[in-house]
Structure 1
Amino acid sequence: MAARAWWVVAAWVLVVGALGSFAPTVFTSLAGAGWQANGSESVQVRELAQQHFGGNASSAIQVVVQSDDAVISDPAVQRVLDQATDVLTQDSRIGQVVPPQPGMTISPDGRTGILLAGANADTNDMVRAVDDLKADLTGLSTSSVQVYPTGASALWSDFNKANHDAMIQAEMVSWPVTLAIMVLAFGSLVAAGLPLLLTLAGLGASAGALVLLNEVTPISVWAMNFAMMFALALGIDYALFLVVRFRDALRKLGDARAAVAETMDTAGKAVLLSGITVLVSLSAVLLVPAPAVRTMAVGIMLAVVFVLAATLTLLPAVLGKLGARVNALALPWAKRAEACSPRFTRWGELLSRKPWPFALGAVLVLVALSLPVFGLKVAMPSIQVVPEDAPVRQGYEAVQDGFGEGAPGMLQIVTPATDAQATAAQAKGTDGIAMVTPPQPASDGSDYTLLQAMPTVDPSSPQLADTLDRLRDTLPSGALVGGAPAENLDLQDALNDYLPLVVGVILALGFLLLLVALQAPVIALLGTIVSLLSTGAAFGVAKLIFQDGHLSGLLGFTPQGFLDGWGPVFFFAMIFAIAMDYTVFLLATAKEHYELTGEPRRAKVDGLAHCGRVIFAAAAVMVAVFFTFALADPLPPKEMGIILGIAVLLDAALIRLVLLPVLLRLTGHGAWWSPRWLRKMLPTIRFSH
């Protein structure tokens, strides 16, 4: 790379230019829905309702028209309804438009009506339809009549917008904070700018790649949100590790190309293995049959691939050209990062002299923080995650006020026409159901009937799951129960069911990768196990904050009483990936010094001395990046930022800089032992140069 620097730079300019040309459309092109369990009963109901009942599916748009002064039949209200109908019928994505019906979609007091706009497109296009029509519909409001688009598609429209705005705001805050930490870590503006170069290259390429991939299969807009965060965090991690090593090699060798060669032969291997570990951990999420969850993992994986590629090609090319100029624009008050830190040398020696107190102390803290996990509850997000002034939340509350607590979460029942009356009777007699609408025959003449059942509780109430189970157990075998709340509950069940599998696959693959990289089963196993401690502690803290409400006043949110449903699966993969990232850095450096000296105690101290500062600085950047999301108003970005930030903080401070070095001290030569038969099976990987 260093010998062909200009070719490498030119290639990256072409790649980023070509893919980056699609990047400006990434947030408008990507899909806004996908929060479903593929193959579930509720998804079947939605597809049947869309096909046979004029689009009256869970993805239909409900336009709530409300007046405090007039009833729905009033001419002023009717004019607004006619105008709303005109807006809707002009969009090809809207199917049958049904005006408010007495006894069904007109409230008992007559002041709230629901105009139903059927879905004539898939769920992602219906979210885009709300994006496009929302302003025109809400603009029809007058001083006496209010118009609010609501329903599942409107919820995801407002939810995605609120989260996108929060992510952009957090990124804008995190960049200057990141740059400041980089200047402190590197001591020069040129060196500090290199991680941002990698991040921008990786982000531009991955954003364009997501847009192109979206043409093949829908990619959730959340994929880009997570990709932005991970590209920044990992790009800085990798660049920091390589640049510190390059500057040390340059001081020793005096030749830029030779320094690049030594850097890539040592730290470069660790970065490659770390990137592969991150990709493998995230790939386990692809097992979950939920499009939004899968494509979020795809977004992060694409960002990691491009950042990793830039780290292994563009960075060595630039370093080879810069040479000693990597230290240009040094700041007098910022200490340059040295390869061997005296402070971390002393810290490593202290851990060697007194391993047990530090080991027990770290384990006790992590176990204590992990204990609340056993009371953790999860559920799909409630309406509270949307800002109070969002049209969908105002419409939701208007429907509840006009029709009843469970009205925003109507359950849909599709049944053969011959079973319609029996199904209706059994549904009415089911505990937890307030009312059932009259059977509606299929609009296309098929042998299906649609009923709507209103629960007695709010759609986010835990009791609704029991009601759904009772309905499915009680109704005739041909009846299928769905609706927006059922889709959420089916997705939550799928996430819960797949969690043990995802965790098991991540742990197994993480162990195998460490085993291949280190050629040492003992430390590979210990490195995998201790990563679980920081993960458990992070979720324990998440339970205290987001479920129990501790610090909610300080952080500015109202607790839902549970953690958002995708958290355990998705955050586990992300936290474990980051934890293994640091594990590879530390153990690869220790292995390098063990190969050079053959002394396990010396290797542990030297390993910590050479990468302790890098881990500390990289963790500081990650914590700063993640904690900026705590400033977000919507709850999901706040959850993500705080959980990941706490995980990185605990992992770096207690696992990588305390517990793992102590385990190296206690296991001695055994940490690096490997049976002969295993060495024959594994590829030969050395970290010393």
Structure 2
Amino acid sequence: MATHAKWVFGVWLIALVALGAAAPSVFSSLAGAGWQANGSESVRVRELAQQHFGGNSSAAVQVVVHSDTGMVSDPAVQQVLTEATAIFQGDDRFGAVIAPQPGMSISPDGHTGVLIAGANASTDEMVKAVDDLKGQLTALSKDGVEVYPTGASALWSDFNKANHDAMIKAEMFSWPVTLAIMVLAFGSLVAAGLPLLLTLAGLIASAGGLVLLNSATPISVWAMNFAMMFALALGIDYALFIVARFRDALSKTGDSRAAVAETMDTAGKAVVLSGLTVLVSLSAVLLVPAPAVRTMAVGIMLAVAFVLAATLTLLPAVLGKLGPKINAGSLPYAKRQQHRSARFESWGRLLHKHPWPFAIGSLLILAALSIPVLDLKVAMPSIQVVPTDAPVRQGYELIQAQMGEGAPGMLQIIAPAAEAEATAAVARASDGIAMVTPPMPSVDGSGYVMLQAIPNVDPSDTAMGAILGQLRADLPSQSLVGGAPAENLDLQQALNDYLPLIIGVILVLGFALLLVALQAPLIAILGTVVSLLSTAAAFGVAKLIFQDGHGASLLGFTPQGFLDGWGPVFFFAMIFAIAMDYTVFLLATAKEHYEESGDPEHAHVMGLAHSGRIIAAAAAVMVAVFFTFAFAEPLPPKEMGIILGVAVLLDAVFIRLMLLPVLLRLTGHAAWWSPAWLRRVLPTIKFSHG
């Protein structure tokens, strides 16, 4: 790369111009929905509703029209309804428009009505349709008549916007904080700025790549939201490791190309392994049959792949060109800074001399923080994740106040016409159902009928699962139950069902990668197992904060009483990937010194001396990046930032800089031992240079 720097720069320039042209449209192009369990009963109901009932499905848009002084039948309200209907009829993404009906979609006092615009497009297109039209709809509010678009499509429209705005604000705040930490770590403005520029190149490329990929298959807008944060943190990690090693090699040889070669032969291998570990961990999430969850993983994987490519090609080319200029803009103390940290060497010797107190202490702390995870509850997000001034929340709360707790989350029942009355009778008698509307025949004569069942609890109430389960059990076998609450519950069930499989796949693949890289079964097992400790502790802290509400007032949120349902699957993969990232950096450095000396004490102490400062700096950057999301208004990015930030903090302090080095001390030569048959099977990988 250093020898052919002009070619490298040329290829990256072409790639960035081509992909960068598409990048600005990333947030407007990507899909807004996809939170469903493919193949579930609720998704089948939505498909049948869109096909046979004019689009009156969970993706339909509900427009709440309310007047404190007038009735729905009054001319002023009717005029607003007529104007809203005209807006929908002018857009072919909407199907049949159903006016408010007495006894069904008009409140008992007659002051509130719900207009339903059927969905005539995919769930993603319906979210975009609400994006396009909600301004026109809310502008209809006049003369004492209030208009609020609501329903699942409107929910995702408002929530995606709030989430995007929060992510952008947090990113803008995290960049200067990150730069400050990098300057302190490197002591040089050039060396500190290089990782940020590298990460920016990776983000631009991944944003453009997601837009192009979205043209082939819908990609959730959340994919870019997460990719921005994760790629920034990991890209800086990789660049830190490479740049620090390059500066050390350059100080010894004075030859830029030789320093690049040594850097990539040692730290470069660790970065490749770390990147593969992250990609493997996230690839396990692709098993979940939920488009939004899968594409979130795809987005992060694409961003990591581009950042990894930039680290392995663009960065060594830039370093080869910069040479000694990498230290330009140095602070006074930087000239005395060495890759081998005297402080972390002393810390390593302290751990070597007194291993047991540190081992027991770190295990006790992590175990204590992990205990709350046993009572962790998960569910799909409630309406509380949307800002209080969002139209969808105002409409939701108005429907609840006027029509009952369960009215915003009606369940839809589709049954054969021959079983219409029997189905209606069973539904009315089922526990937890407040009201059932009369059977409505399909518009195309397909032989189906639809009933709407209104629960007597809020759609996000924990009792909703039991109500749905009982209703499905009571109804005739050919009847299907769906609706927005059912889709959430079916998705939650799928996430719960796939969690053990995903954990197992991630652990097996993580162990396999460590085994191939380190050629040592014992330390590969230990490195994999200890990564679970920080994960469990992070989720234990998450339970205390987001389920129990400790610190909620400080962080500015109202606890839902549970963690968002996709958290365990997705955050486990992300946390484990980050934990293994640090594991690779530490163990690869220790293995390099073991290969050179054959002395486990030297390997353990020098491993910390040469990687401890990088791990600490990388952790500080990650914690700063993640914790900037702690003050985001929507709850999911707040959860993500705090959980990942806590996980990195716990992992870096108690595992990478304490427990894992102690395990190297206690296992000695056995940590690096490998049977002869295994060495013959595995490819030969060495981390030492020369």
* Band the TM-score falls in, shorter-chain normalisation: over 0.9
Q: Distance in 2 between matches of 1:234 and 1:20?
A: 21
* CA distance in structure 1 between the partners assigned to 2:341 and 2:331 by the alignment: 19
Structure 1 residues 558 and 616, CA, compared in 2 at 3 Å: closer, same or farther? same
Q: Using the alignment, how far apart are the partners of 1:246 and 1:482 within structure 2?
A: 58
In 1: Cα distance, 2:340 partner to 2:309 partner: 27
How much has 1:331 moved relative to structure 2?
Answer: 2.0
Distance in 2 of aligned mates of 1:337 and 1:213: 44
Within-5 A mapping of 1:205-224: 205-224=205-224
Alignment of 1:241-390 (within 5 A): 241-332=241-332, 337-390=337-390
Shift of 1:336: 6.3
Greater than 3 Å deviation, 4+ residue runs: 333-337
Q: CA deviation at 1:254?
A: 1.0
Residue number in structure 2 paired with 1:129: 129
Shift of residue 143 of structure 1? Answer: 3.7
Determine the structure 2 residue equivalent to 1:60.
60
Please state if 1:488 is matched with 2:512.
Answer: no
SS across alignment from 2:575 = helix
**What is the CA-CA distance between 1:333 and the residue it aligns to?**
5.8
Q: How far 1:279 sits from its partner (Å)? A: 0.2
Structure 1 CA distance, aligned partners of 2:570 and 2:20?
A: 27
Counterpart in 2 of 1:576? 576
1:536 maps to what in 2?
Answer: 536
- Tell me the SS of whatever aligns to 1:103: coil
- The answer to whether the 8 Å contact 1:385/1:636 transfers is yes
Q: Distance in 1 between the 2:593 and 2:348 partners?
A: 14
What is the match of residue 112 of structure 2? 112
- Could you tell me whether the CA contact under 8 Å between 1:162 and 1:386 is conserved in 2? yes
Matching residue of 2:22: 22
Which residue type is aligned with residue 567 of structure 1? G
Match for residue 672 of structure 2? 672
1:399 aligns with 2:413: no
Please show how residues 496-575 of structure 1 align to structure 2 within 5 Å: 496-575=496-575
Corresponding position of 2:461:
461
- For 2:13 and 2:640, the matched residues in 1 are separated by 33
The AA in structure 2 aligned to 1:644 is: L
Distance in 1 (alpha carbons) for counterparts of 2:197 and 2:508 = 34
Counterparts of 2:149 and 2:465 in 1: how far apart (Å)? 26
Give 3-state SS (helix, strand or coil) of 1:218's partner.
coil
Asked whether the 8 Å contact 1:84–1:137 carries over to 2, the reply is yes
Amino acid at match of 2:657: L
- TM-score normalised according to structure 2 size: 0.99
- Paired with 1:237 and 1:143, the residues of 2 have a C-alpha distance of 57
Structure 1 residue 332: Cα displacement = 2.6
- The 3 A distance-change label for structure 1 pair 383 and 547 is same
How far apart in 1 are the matches of 2:499 and 2:16? 36
Aligned residue runs from structure 1 range 421-436, under 5 A? 421-436=421-436
How far is 1:126 from its partner?
A: 0.3
Distance in 1 separating the partners of 2:455 and 2:583 = 49
- Asked whether the equivalents of residues 183 and 334 of structure 1 are also in contact (C-alpha less than 8 Å), the reply is no
Q: 1-side partners of 2:256 and 2:54: how far apart?
A: 69
| Cross-structure match for 2:50 | 50
CA deviations on 1:423-479 (whole Å, 9 max, x unpaired) are 000000001000000000000011100000000000000101000000110100000
Distance 2:164 2:399 in 1: 27
| Other structure's SS at 2:544 match | helix
Encode CA deviations 1:157-178: one digit per residue, 9 max, x unaligned: 0010000000000001000000
Residue aligning to 2:476: 476
Secondary structure at the counterpart of residue 65 of structure 1: strand
State the 1:231 CA deviation: 1.2
- Residue 359 of structure 1 aligns with an amino acid whose one-letter code is A
Letter in 2 for 1:398: L
Q: Distance in 1 between the 2:667 and 2:334 partners?
A: 38
Shift of 1:337: 4.6
**1:135 & 1:279 partners in 2: Cα distance?**
40
Whether the aligned pair in 2 keeps the contact of 1:437 and 1:453 (CA below 8 Å) is yes
- 2:438 is matched with 438
- Shift in Å, 1:230: 1.1
1:164 aligns with 2:171: no
SS at the partner of 2:459? coil
Kindly provide the CA deviation profile for residues 6-27 of structure 1, in whole angstroms up to 9, marking residues without a partner as x: 1101110111110111000000
Matched, 1:650 2:616: no
Q: Counterparts of 2:448 and 2:282 in 1: how far apart (Å)? A: 41
Letter in 1 for 2:637: P
Cα deviation code 1:32-84 (max 9, x no counterpart): 00000000000000000000000000000000000100000001111111111
Paired residue secondary structure (1:572):
helix
CA contact (8 A) 1:95 1:119 kept: yes
Q: 1:142: how far off?
A: 1.0
Query: For the residues of structure 2 that align with 1:336 and 1:372, how far apart are their CA atoms?
Result: 46
Distance 1:231 1:458 in 2: 38
Distance 1:417 1:179 in 2: 66
- The residue type paired with residue 183 of structure 2 is V
Q: Distance in 2 between matches of 1:190 and 1:198?
A: 12
Match of 2:687 in 1: 687
Pair 1:593 & 2:583 matched: no
> Which residue pairs with 2:138 in the alignment?
138
CA separation in 1, counterparts of 2:6 and 2:233?
27
Cα distance between partner residues in 2 of 1:250 and 1:101: 78
1:545 and 1:103 mapped to 2: Cα distance? 42
2:337 and 2:215 map into 1 onto residues whose CA distance is 45
Tell me how far apart the structure 1 counterparts of residues 435 and 482 of structure 2 sit (CA, whole Å): 16
Percent pairwise identity: 77
324-333 or 208-217, which moves further after superposition? 324-333
Number of residue pairs matched by the alignment? 689
CA distance in 2: counterparts of 1:333 and 1:590, whole angstroms:
27
* Aligned-partner Cα distance in 2 for 1:289–1:510: 22
* Counterpart contact for 1:186–1:335, Cα < 8 Å: no
Does residue 625 (structure 1) correspond to residue 625 (structure 2)? The answer is: yes
Cα shift readout 1:74-132 (whole Å, capped 9, x = no counterpart): 01111111111111111110110111111111111000000100000000000000000
Shift of 1:352: 0.2
* Superposed displacement of residue 338, structure 1: 2.1
> Alignment partner of 1:22: what SS?
helix
SS at the partner of 1:310? helix
- Whole-Å Cα distance in 2 between the matches of residues 17 and 615 of structure 1? 33
Distance in 2 (CA, whole Å) between partners of 1:497 and 1:112 is 41
Return the letter of the residue paired with 1:426: V
C-alpha distance in 1 between matches for 2:248 and 2:337: 9
Letter in 1 for 2:511: F
SS at match of 1:340: coil
Deviation at 1:252, TM superposition (A): 0.6
**Counterparts of 2:608 and 2:570, CA distance in 1:** 30
| Residues 8 and 314, structure 1, Cα contact 8 Å, conserved in 2 | yes
Q: Distance in 2 between matches of 1:608 and 1:667?
A: 16
Name the SS for the 2:332 alignment partner: coil
Name the amino acid aligned to 1:587: L
Q: Determine if contact 1:185/1:336 at 8 Å carries over to the other structure.
A: no
CA change 1:182–1:337 in 2 (3 A) is farther
Pair 100,366 (structure 1): closer, same or farther in 2 beyond 3 Å: same
Instruction: Tell me the alpha carbon deviations over residues 576-626 of structure 1, each in whole angstroms, 9 at most, x when there is no partner.
Output: 000000000000000000000000011100010000000000000000000
Secondary structure of the residue that 2:66 maps to in structure 1? strand
